[in-house]
Amino acid sequence: MNKPLWEAYALRYATVQRRRLENFIFHDLHDMATNMDYYVWFLKNDKETILIDTGFNKTAAKARKRNHLRCPIESLNQSGIKVEDLSDVIITHAHYDHAGNTDLLKKTRFHIQESEMSYATGPDMRHAFCRHAYDPHDICELIYANFEDRVRFHNGVYELRPGIEVHLVGGHTKGLQIVRVHTKRGWIVIASDAAHYLENFKNHSPFPIVLNTSDMLSGFELIKDLAESPEHVIAGHDPLTMSLYKRTGKSDLEIVSLIDPL
């Protein structure tokens, strides 16, 4: 049966300059500067909007020396999406750059893999290596949301709506999930940090922040299997997203339509 069609968008909300060696375990000797962009993504039909990840706020940006361009949640409001009407938000993983700002979404139900939540609240967080990209305030917000019955925990694959699926990958974190969405362009995969850059995915070249390299490498294969083509893969932090797709919406917000490649 044909699945319903969704629109898909990326909204850039922050950026930082890094070096290539920070992005690839195997890197060439010509180590160059390269940007890392920060996005949230959202899926729309004529009835509702599903948000994927919630970004971070100004305070977190300052603490981690990121260039905060805009509040992603406020930006959604400005682009005509009533944030208070968001019923479901997918959290790909609970790192600070994906799971902040949830205090602004007091009625929303969050979808996260059970293994991600148990990892982020479990004994591994005593290790600086494991907890570095987590902010305990974000994790506590998710715990509060759970106490209000606003968290759905998934184990592996889950169909959130006809045409929207989450798939467990792990690798980068214990319970990282990716999102597969049916669009008029075909099946798109929003890989989040299963592929920080398209180059990580295309060359099967792991990103250095990795909990389980084997799962990250298998994740590249899963992304390829789930996407219509490699051109249907949306990387988590790649500045290329802004140049590969058509700008849409208000000009002062950096939103691109993932169903309109340039």
Q: Please give the helix or strand (H or E) that residue 261 lies within, else none.
A: strand 255-261
CB of 246 to Zn ion, least distance (A): 24
Q: Which is nearer to Zn ion, 14 or 259 (CB)?
A: 14
> Which SS3 state, helix, strand or coil, does residue 15 take?
strand
How far CA 192 is from CA of 82, 222, 223, 255, in Å, comes to 24, 13, 11, 16
Task: Say if CB 211 and CB 176 are below 8 A apart.
Answer: no
Q: Which is nearer to Zn ion, 7 or 141 (CB)?
A: 141
Q: Which is nearer to Zn ion, 256 or 259 (CB)?
A: 256
Q: What's the sign of the alpha-carbon dihedral 80, 150, 235, 155?
A: negative
Q: Which is nearer to Zn ion, 54 or 108 (CB)?
A: 54
CB of 12 to Zn ion, least distance (A): 13
Task: Say if CB 75 and CB 37 are below 8 A apart.
Answer: no
Choices 7-15, 93-101, 146-154, 179-187; region in contact with Zn ion by CB under 5 A: 93-101
Q: Which residues contact 125 (CB under 8 A, 6 or more apart)?
A: 119, 131, 134
Choices 65-73, 92-100, 135-143, 253-261; region in contact with Zn ion by CB under 5 A: 92-100
Q: Which is nearer to Zn ion, 97 or 138 (CB)?
A: 97
* Amino acid in position 22: E
| Residue 141 in contact with Zn ion, rule: CB under 5 A | no
| Residue 97 in contact with Zn ion, rule: CB under 5 A | yes
- Site map (CB under 5 A) of Zn ion, residues 173-202, x = contact: --------------------x---------
Rule CB under 5 A: which residues touch Zn ion? Answer: 97, 193
